[in-house]
């Protein structure tokens, strides 16, 4: 089964930079799921890809998804982090007034 | 009967596999989408300190300075986001004053060095409000360096066939003191890897003009009134 799966893969598709595994991974899991070496490879693959419209779409999609994910994870401000912020605000107000 | 048991056994193994598969993907996705972020920033700041005896107006010995030496700070730093709302990092704001003092080159540096603790949240996509508190360990340096000729060096070098030596002598007096920075900032993400950040707040210093160090000796330094300074900063953030 293992060999069948391995040989069943299309090597041409893997060599094609536009649909490389790294680009697929970045699109599926986000750019930050890539290691540093993978990020370099991701940019190399995008550079090598001749379909510039596709490159633009991938870049926009990855960028937007990451911004949405970042905003989602930091949209709530509760617990210790908010208390910390209130302390700083109070401290700055005191410094302004005194 | 044995065949039925085999089917049940195989189905249990399959369901176990599915659970493992779901768990694996859940962990993978929760980690990958919430990856910690390292950011590097470059930028500048504006402040208005009272640098007594480091000013050409109050001290005729000191070379004249521009607003770059008086009001402008040059900043850089590194931050690590270890939690969705929290960052820790090292940040540095430097003030420089360059000039000529007699035949010597004069360089005065004040480095505000901060260990930053920052919490933040996104009121909207791409927009971030951040709150920073940073203990500081600051350093002031006054350095004079001048070109000086040495007859002894000249005689040695001429014996080897050289013409003359071009040596420089320099001295440096330093002072370290503690401080605290507190700031509120607004950041706008242009890309997921690039943002512009503006901050406003205060820098407090426990500076005293006593106990500057020059070649291991304690000397009196300039009287600077930098106890409480309002500061405005603009940073360009690069992250990955």
d(CA B143, CA B126): 44
Task: Give the residue, B173 or B6, on which the prediction is more confident.
Answer: B173
Identify the weakest region by mean pLDDT among A20-34, B22-36, B50-64: B22-36
* Binary contact (B228, A95; C-beta < 8 A): yes
CA B224 to CA B53: how far, in whole Å? 8
Q: Does A95 touch chain B (CB under 8 A)?
A: yes
From B32, B184, B192, residue closest to A67, measured CB to CB: B192
- Considering only residues B152 and B47, tell me which one the structure prediction assigns the higher pLDDT: B47
Residue B148 has pLDDT above 80, yes or no: no
Between chains, do A29 and B86 touch, taking CB under 8 Å as contact? no
Residue A8 above 70 pLDDT? no
B156/A97: higher pLDDT? A97
What ipTM goes with this model?
Answer: 0.75
For A:36-55, CB contacts with B below 8 A are 36, 39
pLDDT of residue B234: 97
Closest-CA distance of chain A to residue B87, Å: 10
Contacts of residue B195 in chain A, CB cutoff 8 Å?
A: none
- Give the residue among B221, B224, B232 at the shortest CA–CA distance from B181: B232
Q: What is the pLDDT of residue A13?
A: 45
Q: How far apart are CA B179 and CA B173, in angstroms?
A: 20
Q: What is the mean pLDDT of residues A28-57?
A: 89
Written in H, E and C, the secondary structure of chain B is CHHHHHHHHHHHHHHHHHHHHHHHHHHHHHHHHCCCEEEEEEEEEEECCEECCCCCCCCCCCCCCCHHHHCEEEEEEEEEEEECCEEEEEEEEEEEEEEEECCEEEEEEEEEEEEEEEEEEEEECCEEEEEEEEEEEEEEEEEEEEEECCHHHHHHHHHCCCCCCCEEEEEEEEEEEEEEEEEEEEEEECCCCEEEEEEEEEEEECCCCCCEEECCEEECCCCEECCEEEEEEEEEEEEC
Beta strands at B194-205 and B212-214: parallel, antiparallel or unpaired? unpaired
Contact B182 A76 (CB under 8 A): no
With CB atoms and an 8 Å threshold, state whether A88 touches B182. Answer: yes
Q: Which of B143, B149, B141 is nearest to B168 (CA)?
A: B149
Residue A10 pLDDT more than 50?
Answer: no
Q: Which residues of A touch B83 (CB under 8 A)?
A: 81
Residue B174, token pair as written in the block: 């330093």
Question: Which pLDDT value is given to residue B19?
Answer: 63
Tell me which residue in B32, B35, B86 faces A81 most closely, judged by beta carbons: B86
Domain hosting A93: range is 2-97
B42 or A35, higher pLDDT: B42
Query: Across the interface, do B131 and A85 touch by the CB < 8 Å criterion?
Result: yes
pLDDT band at residue A2 under the 50/70/90 scheme:
low
CB contact under 8 A, A88 and B126: no
| Count of domains observed in chain A | 1
Q: Is the Cβ pair B192, A70 closer than 8 Å?
A: yes
């Amino acid at each position: 089964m293992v060999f069948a799966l391995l040989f069943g893969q299309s090597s041409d598709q893997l060599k094609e930079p536009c649909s490389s595994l790294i680009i697929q991974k970045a699109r599926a899991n986000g750019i930050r799921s890539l290691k540093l070496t993978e990020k370099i490879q991701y940019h190399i693959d995008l550079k090598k890809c001749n379909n510039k419209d596709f490159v633009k779409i991938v870049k926009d999609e990855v960028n937007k998804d990451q911004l949405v994910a970042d905003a989602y994870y930091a949209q709530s401000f509760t617990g210790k982090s908010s208390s910390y912020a209130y302390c700083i605000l109070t401290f700055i107000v005191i410094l302004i007034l005194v | 009967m044995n065949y039925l048991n085999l089917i049940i056994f195989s189905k249990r193994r399959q369901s176990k596999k599915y659970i493992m598969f779901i768990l694996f993907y859940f962990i993978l996705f929760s980690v990958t989408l919430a990856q910690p972020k390292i950011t590097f920033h470059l930028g500048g700041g504006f402040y208005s300190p009272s640098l007594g005896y480091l000013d050409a107006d109050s001290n005729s010995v000191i070379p004249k300075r521009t607003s770059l030496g008086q009001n402008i700070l040059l900043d850089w730093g590194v931050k690590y986001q270890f939690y969705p709302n929290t960052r820790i990092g090292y940040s540095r704001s430097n003030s420089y004053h360059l000039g000529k003092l007699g035949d010597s080159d004069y360089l005065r540096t004040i480095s505000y060095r901060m260990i930053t603790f920052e919490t933040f949240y996104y009121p909207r996509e791409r927009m971030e409000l951040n709150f920073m508190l940073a203990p500081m360990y600051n350093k002031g340096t006054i350095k004079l360096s001048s070109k000086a000729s040495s007859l002894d060096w000249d005689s040695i070098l001429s014996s080897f066939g050289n013409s003359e030596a071009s040596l420089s002598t320099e001295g440096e007096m330093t002072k370290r003191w503690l401080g605290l920075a507190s700031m509120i900032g607004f950041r706008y993400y242009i890309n997921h890897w690039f943002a512009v950040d503006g901050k406003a707040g205060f820098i407090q210093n426990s500076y005293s003009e006593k106990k500057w160090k020059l070649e291991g000796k304690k000397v009196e330094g300039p009287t600077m009134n930098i106890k409480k300074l309002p500061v405005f900063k603009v940073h360009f953030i690069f992250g990955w």
